[in-house]
Amino acid sequence: MSAVCHNLSQFYYGPRVSMKISRHLKENVWTWKSGMAAQCFFPRMVGARFFNGMTTDPVVREEGDTPRVLITGSLGQLGTGLAKILRTKYGRDNIIMSDIIKAPKQIVESGPYIYADILDFKNLQEIIVTHHIDWLIHFSALLSAIGEHNVPLAMRVNIEGLHNVMELAKQYRLRIFVPSTIGAFGPDSPRNPTPDLCVQRPRTIYGVSKVHGELLGEYYQHKFGVDFRCLRFPGVISADTHPGGGTTDYAVQIFHDVIKQGKFQCYLRPNTRLPMMYIDDCLRSLIEVMEVPEEKLKLRTYNVAAISFTPEELVQALKKLIPEFHVSYHPDSRQDIADSWPEVFDDSNARNDWGWKPEYDIDRLCEVMVDKLQAKYPKK
């Protein structure tokens, strides 16, 4: 049968793809047979959703092939920078950026950008098929602070959206990355340090949706063999894009306000310790975990850490570069969220299993942020 398929597929797809199909069929005859049988009996029901548990895409990626990557929610704080790095690495046209907002001119000119609402399953199917997607990087989400202000929307985007991408990953055999967060822990978790495996009872809808994502991803991995990979990130600090409504955003805003106005009002108490990470470390950890061979992954969800500091400590580090500025503290509802989160993250499993190592400490972080933002806001 494999030979027949090889000839047929050669006719339809050409020799290179055909070889892959033949190899794939040898390994997955049952899947193919069932899929074909189902298509014969239900010719109109070709929607991938129908073939519960089966792939509709017979082409298998081989390690080392250049992946074609779809990034959802790519206009946010993480997606813009990730697309830039991946395009340098894998080629401009292999990285498809997507979001529901209109992209600025420089994004449109930098490579493929398309509209994709994470809640529209059929449209996502069409994108994956049309663009031959191999990897899905799922960034669309409402972050912790903004999620508390719109719980129904956070549930839709963070939970229903995740259901959609997990199904797509199963049906099209995608490698899928879903970020989690320090916010996936709660007041009952050990806070200093917080290990990978411990009690997780978050008190925000953001945290609840992220624990759900971790568990569902791991379930799809052991039940259906989906290549699910997940990192729990600390608060991410970057200069190129603004954060999207989180509890850790103060650690970005302080740089903008101090450089522009010489003063900063912090919504957390001065001694609130949280794990943080410079964006370059964050994106490097993501790429490393996506590229690591599956057999090295003893877990599917890892903590990654870099630095841990309080607003007071960040102010002291920033004063080494900009000695004169004024800070006041007016805690708001984000204080309650921060008080329930880890203070220090234990990432020893990521370090041991796939060699994770951060590069930015608090001083280097301040230097790079100040350099970038002083160039962006020149002195009047």
Q: Which residues contact ligand NAI by CB under 6 A?
A: 72-73, 75-79, 99-101, 117-119, 139-141, 143, 157, 179, 181, 233, 235-236, 243-244, 246, 248
Nearer CB in complex with ligand AKB: 183/217: 183
Question: Out of ligand NAI, ligand AKB, none, which partner does residue 252 contact, by CB within 5 to 8 A per kind?
Answer: none
C-alpha count within 13 angstroms, C-beta hemisphere, residue 273: 11
For ligand AKB, which residue of 35, 58, 183, 311 counts as binding (CB under 6 A)?
183
Which helix H or strand E contains 360, and what residues bound it?
none
The pattern of x and - marking residues 231 through 270 that bind ligand AKB according to CB under 6 A reads: ----x----------xxx----------------------
Residue 29 CA to residue 341 CA, distance in Å, equals 48
Question: Out of ligand NAI, ligand AKB, none, which partner does residue 78 contact, by CB within 5 to 8 A per kind?
Answer: ligand NAI
Structure tokens at 299: 């877990």
Q: Can you say whether residue 107 is alpha, beta or left, with left for phi > 0 and alpha for psi between -120 and 50 degrees?
A: alpha
Nearer CB in complex with ligand AKB: 97/143: 143
Nearer CB in complex with ligand NAI: 94/181: 181
Which helix H or strand E contains 326, and what residues bound it?
strand 326-329
Q: Which residue from 213, 134, 151 is spatially nearest to 178, judged by alpha carbons? A: 213
Nearer CB in complex with ligand AKB: 337/368: 337
Q: Which residues contact 143 (CB under 8 A, 6 or more apart)?
A: 206, 243, 244, 245, 246, 247
Point out the catalytic residue in the list 113, 206, 220, 278. Answer: 206
The answer to whether 128 touches 171, Cβ cutoff 8 Å, is: no
Residue 361 CA to residue 306 CA, distance in Å, equals 7
Q: Which residue from 111, 103, 235, 249 is spatially nearest to 181, judged by alpha carbons? A: 235
Residue 206 is among the residues annotated as catalytic for this protein? yes
Residue 349 CA to residue 114 CA, distance in Å, equals 36
Distance of closest approach, residue 245 Cβ to ligand AKB, in angstroms: 7
Question: Out of ligand AKB, ligand NAI, none, which partner does residue 144 contact, by CB within 5 to 8 A per kind?
Answer: ligand AKB
Q: Which residue from 162, 127, 120, 111 is spatially nearest to 141, judged by alpha carbons? A: 162
Distance of closest approach, residue 367 Cβ to ligand NAI, in angstroms: 20
Structure tokens at 353: 């299993």
Q: Judging by DSSP bridges, how do beta strands 326-329 and 263-266 pair with one another? A: parallel
Nearer CB in complex with ligand NAI: 25/252: 252
The pattern of x and - marking residues 337 through 376 that bind ligand AKB according to CB under 6 A reads: ----------------------------------------
Residue 229 CA to residue 159 CA, distance in Å, equals 17
Question: Out of ligand AKB, ligand NAI, none, which partner does residue 140 contact, by CB within 5 to 8 A per kind?
Answer: ligand NAI
For ligand AKB, which residue of 18, 140, 144, 340 counts as binding (CB under 6 A)?
144
> Interface with ligand AKB includes 301 (CB under 6 A)?
no
> Interface with ligand AKB includes 202 (CB under 6 A)?
no
Residue 305 CA to residue 275 CA, distance in Å, equals 7
Question: Out of ligand NAI, ligand AKB, none, which partner does residue 75 contact, by CB within 5 to 8 A per kind?
Answer: ligand NAI
- Beta carbons within 10 angstroms of residue 37's beta carbon: 10
Question: Out of ligand NAI, ligand AKB, none, which partner does residue 205 contact, by CB within 5 to 8 A per kind?
Answer: none
- Summarize as ranges the residues that interact with ligand AKB (CB under 6 A): 143-144, 181-183, 206, 235, 246-248
Which are the catalytic amino acids?
Answer: 206
